[in-house]
Amino acid sequence: MIEGTGANRRIDVHHHVVPPQYAGDSMPIKLPDTETQLRTMDGWHIQTAITSLTPRVLMANSHRLREVARTCNEFQARVVRDHPSRFGAFALLPLPDVDGALEELAYALDVLRLDGVGLFSSYDGRYLGDSLFDPVFDELNRRKAVVFIHPTHCEAPAETNLGSPPFVVEYVFDTTRAIVNLIFTGTLRRCPDIRVIVAHGGGAVPFLAQRISMLEGHRQARTVTGVIPTLRSFYYEIASTTAAYALRSLQELVGAKRILWGSDLPFVYGERLKTEVDHWQEYDGFNANDRLAVERQNALRLFPRFGPAAGASVQP
């Protein structure tokens, strides 16, 4: 059992599930069933997990995107229905199929009543600010949806001969490119009511915030304004971003009120997750109220339905 600051109170906004029929060779580990997940959550003092899918599911089934998205969302809805205080869910959309995505978005939020929408940083080489995706972002904005942006599984170009695992660099910078693209194209200015959560501390965004702000007034980005306020309007989830040299930069950008706790279970687990939690507990930049905000209270602003079930509530 890992020592925590309060039993079973964390809200984990980065927590993956995969329906059994898709948990095959494309997955790097054997995936747990729901009861095993719950026991693991208890061990890490997680009261509630907001589940999402990884890009592997769509990438392995690109010939049947709509079917896979529907199956995954109905699977998540069943888990939520069976354990309403322990799980929420981000809907999977069958992008880059925009018509299918709009149909699935309505079904997932209006019929299944999922808690938000999960997007990947890019689809078939198109970043989220691509005009192809404008109808989806317009609908998300109309609904004031919570959107969780997760990196796409991508490799470095072969000619670079990097050889390192893609999670070390490529996932980080695909996330960063997605955020810069959303700002550069004006998508976020057009859709200010979307509540954005960016995974893994926003990639390199906190460190590069000043450089990104140089878009303002640049001859190639004449309509870009308010870069730093836009970056400060996001929520940032901190799985694999708990060491002091990462948290310090993120804290300088947004403070404690826009940071959310995440585990990346079940793909991050065991000693690696213990190390990340140890880093979090050793970090000296937050006081007790800040830690409570990151682990729980900030998430309740986005997902207030989990407050009463966990014995606490906040105003949205």
In a domain, 275, yes or no: yes
315 assigned to some structural domain:
no
Predicted pLDDT of residue 1 = 34
- Report the candidate in 65, 51, 23 with the shortest Cα–Cα distance to residue 112: 51
Report whether pLDDT(309) > 60.
no
Q: Containing domain of residue 178, as a range?
A: 10-309
How far apart are the C-alpha atoms of 12 and 267, rounded to whole Å? Answer: 14
In a domain, 233, yes or no: yes
Q: Is the residue at 316 inside a domain?
A: no
CA distance 184 to 99: 25
Contact 89, 184 (CB under 8 A): no
Residue 3 domain-assigned (yes or no): no
Q: Quick check: is 4 in a domain?
A: no
pLDDT over threshold 80, residue 15: yes
pLDDT, averaged across the chain? 89
- Gyration radius from the chain CA atoms: 18
pLDDT tens for each residue of 236-276? 999 999 999 999 999 999 999 999 999 999 999 999 999 99
Position 161 in a domain: yes
In this predicted model, what pLDDT tens digit does every residue of 80-135 receive, in sequence order? 999 999 999 999 999 999 999 999 999 999 999 999 999 999 999 899 999 999 99
Q: Where residue 315 falls among pLDDT bands split at 50, 70, 90?
A: very low
Banded pLDDT at 170 (limits 50, 70, 90): confident
CATH number of the domain at 299, please. 3.20.20.140
pLDDT recorded at residue 23? 81
The DSSP H or E segment spanning 43 is helix 34-43
Comparing 182 with 1, the larger pLDDT belongs to: 182
How many domains would you assign to the chain? 1
pLDDT of residue 224: 75
In a domain, 2, yes or no: no
More confident position, 195 or 172: 195
What are the two backbone dihedrals, phi and then psi, of residue 236, each rounded to the nearest 5 degrees? Answer: -125, 125
Q: What is the pLDDT of residue 71?
A: 96
pLDDT tens sequence across 43-78: 999 999 999 999 988 888 889 999 999 999 999 999
Stretch 16-24: mean pLDDT = 88
* Cβ atoms < 10 Å from Cβ of 147: 23
